[in-house]
Amino acid sequence: MLEFILITIIKAVVVVTVLLLTCAWMTYAERKILARMQSRIGPNVAGWKGLLQPVADLVKLLFKEEVIPGGAQRALYLLAPLLAFIPAMLPIAMIPFGNKITLFGREINLVIANYDNGLLFILAVASLSVYGIVMAGWSANSKYSLLGGLRSSAQMISYEIGIGMSLIGIVLLAGTLNLVDIVGQQNVWYKWFIFRQPIGFLLYFVCAIAETNRAPFDLPEAESELVAGYFTEYSSMRFGLFFVGEYANMVTVATVATTLFLGGWQGPFLPPVLWFVIKAVAVLFIYIWIRASLPRFRYDQLMKFGWYVIIPLALANILVTALIDLL
Amino acid sequence: MELAIFILTSLVAIVAALLVILQRNPIASVMYLVTTFVAQAILFIQLRAAFIAILQVIVYAGAIMVLFLFVIMLLNLRREDFGKDIKLRFKPLAIAFAMVLLIETLVVINASLVPAQPGADLSATFGSVQGVGKELFTTYLYPFELTSVLLIVAILGAVVMAKKKL
Amino acid sequence: MSEVGLTSFETYFPIFFQIVLAIIIGVLMFGVSAMLGRRSKSRVKDEAYECGIEVTTDTRHRFSVKFYLVAILFIVFDLETVFLFPWAVNYKQLGLFGLVEMVIFILILLVGYVYIVKKGAIKWD
């Protein structure tokens, strides 16, 4: 019992630390890759090739002044960053990032929580993450914040349906919601669910980009019209919490995609954890690549795309998958 | 242990529920209601109803409360408006209704009190997604199909009310 | 499959701890930044950002009813999605019967969907 508690705590602390470090250096990677794609250099001052840039950013954010706008509703304004940050830290607990390993004679499962309803848990947490954004938009008493928050929440709920529906295909094929079991079923590369659910994967990825408010669906933070959207009025680490939350959500999307569609930690020759990292990083790279390549949607196009294209396609995908599975 | 968790979560649920009506800021009320729903989800887990617990979070805390938020933001009250316009003449009526509801609740609770059976025989899949699904799609097939009709009514109602012009 | 549907310490402790950890880290970052940042007050700082010009009119406008409509439709389709999960998990046992059930369910809802599209409920212009 005590041993179980101890192992769980160690696993959780290690995974969350890695997650936070990934978020920090992902901002660096994003700036560097975007710069390269636009024939610029990107951050190159702090440390060797600018590698210490995230540290500099962190120090800067920590020492910044915290401004609370006069008209803000203080309690909600202060709560909002936490409401955005905390749900972003939770889904990673369900993701198996490696096979069982034996350490000091004990068998350790490389997943924090081996939960039978893991997939639903991730969706439930995602459905709660809209509150941070709405609260931030509402409480700051600024027009940009309010518009950004409202747009963002309407966008998130529209695409949340798409996310749920696009994953049904996987559940149909796997017959379980336990992510460890789902990875277990993809033990050779041609059994990866991306090959049996290509449309499901595409739908999931598109919806996930919209759900995490990233380009080309980054309307809530459309700088040219809404300044910074719902976090316009935030400064210092309060702003930082939104930022870390957004990147953590991207990492979640990448790891979920890896687990459900790309065979998780399964792969030949290399150690499982390394395979997991390679696949997740590849998905994250595509994220940035898309940002560098595609122009932003207009809001009416975005809503139309979500309701008129994604949902019918997802429903069709479910029925076709069910039919094929039956034959 | 289980009892301690139960008492703690119920306390959170009850206090949050009281705060929903006892303070004036409507948006804060929504957040307290979300807290109540999440606490209820934990109580469902204690009742071995994991699927219902997750539904509680996804549907109530994650969807219906978002609608509440949108409605409140739609009306967009100024802070000065909070608490005004409470029609005092409805007070006696409100109290009467509340009393009737309270008595009704007590009667129902009284009627449904069954002595607890320790070690009640629950099947291995009781309350899980598998278990609920199996029941829902075989025994309770008819009510399940009827829900789709219910949902369609909700769609029609919303569109008709919001889009009278078209 | 392990311990289906049972409340067990081993199932829920990791989830509980993850939540606690997330709260601790969030509050910590919040607190450290509050301690380190300096603070100065001025009337201009209190104002909401409006591209540098004077703040005009109140923030509390009323909004387009479309957002409300989107929220209601979201609830309906969210419920549908939620029904799909237990169906998908049991699909292997339900077989053809299950497919027919779900086709009927989706078809009925599709009528509502076509109605929304025809009415232009989610048109944004």
Q: What is the pLDDT of residues B104-147, one digit of tens each?
A: 999 988 887 776 666 566 666 777 888 888 888 888 888 888 88
Residue C26 covered by a domain: yes
Token duo for residue C42:
């001025």
Instruction: Read off the pLDDT of each residue in A30-35 and give the average, rounded to a whole number.
Output: 89
Same domain for B82 and B59 = yes
A-contacting residues in C 25-44 (Cβ below 8 Å): 25-27, 29-30, 32-34, 36-40
Domain that holds residue B154: 128-166
Write down the pLDDT at residue A301.
83
Q: Are residues B49 and B86 in the same domain?
A: yes
Q: Taking CB atoms and an 8 Å cutoff, what residues of chain B touch A73? A: 25, 27, 79
**Hey, which bits of A45-141 come out as E strands?**
101-103, 106-108
Q: Are residues B114 and B49 in the same domain?
A: yes
d(CA C56, CA B37) in angstroms, rounded, equals 39
Summarize the confidence of residues A285-294 as an average pLDDT: 89
Determine if the pTM surpasses 0.90: no
Look at residue B88 in the predicted model and tell me its pLDDT: 65
Of A134-148, A263-277, A285-299, minimum mean pLDDT range:
A134-148
Total domains in chain A come to 1
pLDDT value of position A17: 92
- Is B75 a residue whose pLDDT tops 80? no
Query: Which residues from chain B sit within 8 angstroms of residue A75, using beta carbons?
Result: 28
Interface contact A79-B62, CB threshold 8 A: no
Chain B nearest C-alpha distance from C36 (Å): 29
**Runs of H (alpha helix) within chain C:** 9-36, 43-46, 66-89, 91-119
Residues of chain C contacting residue A227, judged by C-beta atoms under 8 Å apart: 49, 51
CB A176 within 8 A of CB C4: no
Look up residue A81 and give its two tokens.
């960053």
Residues A186-237: tens digit of each pLDDT: 888 888 888 888 999 999 999 999 888 887 887 766 666 666 677 777 777 7
pLDDT class for C56, splitting at 50, 70, 90?
A: low
Q: How many CB atoms lie within 10 A of CB C9?
A: 13
Complex-level ipTM:
0.86
Comparing alpha-carbon positions, the chain B residue that sits nearest to C87 is B133
Q: Which residues in C lie closer than 8 A to residue A300 (C-beta atoms)?
A: 123-125
Confidence of residue C117 (pLDDT cuts 50, 70, 90): confident
**Chain B (90-119) residues lying within 8 Å, Cβ to Cβ, of chain C:** none
* pLDDT band (50, 70, 90) for residue B40: very high
Of A4, A12, A165, the CB nearest to C81: A165
Nearest to B152 by CA among C117, C73, A163, A310: C73
Among chain A residues, the shortest Cα distance to B69 is held by A134
Contacts of C122 in chain A (CB under 8 A): 303-304, 307-308
Contacting partners of chain B (3+ CB pairs under 8 A): A, C
pLDDT bin (cut points 50, 70, 90) of residue B166 is very low
C4 band by pLDDT with thresholds 50, 70 and 90:
very low
Whether the pLDDT of residue B82 is over 60: the answer is no
Give me the mean pLDDT over the B77-81 stretch.
59
Chains A–B, number of C-beta pairs less than 8 Å apart = 57
Question: Could you tell me which of C2, C21, B39, C51 has the C-alpha nearest to residue A13?
Answer: C21
Q: Which of A58, A79, A157 has the highest number of chain C CBs within 10 A, making it the mutation to test binding with C?
A: A157
**Mean pLDDT across chain C:** 78
Note whether residue C82 is domain-resident: yes
Q: pLDDT value at position A163?
A: 92
Distance CA B134, CA B122 (A): 15
What average pLDDT does this structure show over A101-111?
Answer: 77
Compute the average pLDDT of residues A136-144.
79
Mutate to test the interface with A, among C73, C84, C96 (most CBs of A within 10 A): C84
CB C98 within 8 A of CB C87: yes
Domain residue limits at C71? 3-119
**Do both B114 and B136 map to the same domain?**
no
When comparing pLDDT for A29 and C60, which is higher? A29
Q: CA triplet A252, C28, B5: central angle to 5 degrees?
A: 75
Neighbours of chain A (3+ CB pairs under 8 A): B, C
Tell whether B107 and B135 lie within a shared domain: no
The whole-number pLDDT of residue B71 equals 81
Both B84 and B22 in one domain: the answer is: yes
% helix, strand, coil for chain B, step of 5? 75, 0, 25
* pLDDT given for residue A285 in this prediction: 92
CB within 8 Å: B57 and A127: yes
* Interface test mutation site (partner C, options A163, A171, A302, max chain C beta carbons within 10 A): A171
User: What mean pLDDT comes out for the span B98-107?
Assistant: 92
- Residue A220: its pLDDT value, please? 66
Say whether both B100 and B142 belong to one domain. Answer: no
User: Does C94 contact B at CB distance below 8 Å?
Assistant: yes
Structure tokens at A272: 């499982």
B87: domain CATH number is: 1.20.120.1200
Are residues A134 and B129, on separate chains, in Cβ contact within 8 Å?
no
Asked if the structure places residue C124 within a domain, the reply is no
CB A310 within 8 A of CB A203: yes
Q: Which residues of C touch B60 (CB under 8 A)?
A: none
Per-residue pLDDT averaged across C41-46, rounded?
66
Q: What is the mean pLDDT of residues A287-294?
A: 88
pLDDT computed for residue B135 by the predictor: 84
Q: Are residues B57 and B87 in the same domain?
A: yes
pLDDT tens digit sequence for A150-190: 888 888 888 899 999 999 989 988 888 888 888 888 888 88
What's the domain range around A238? Answer: 2-326
Residue in chain A nearest B71 by alpha carbon: A150
Residue C78: CATH number of its domain: 1.20.58.1610
Residues 120-159 of chain A whose Cβ lies under 8 A from any Cβ of chain B? 120-121, 123-124, 127-128, 130-131, 134-135, 138-139, 146, 150, 153, 157
- Overall domain count for chain C: 1
**Domain-located, residue C19:** yes
Question: For chain B, how many structural domains are there in total?
Answer: 2
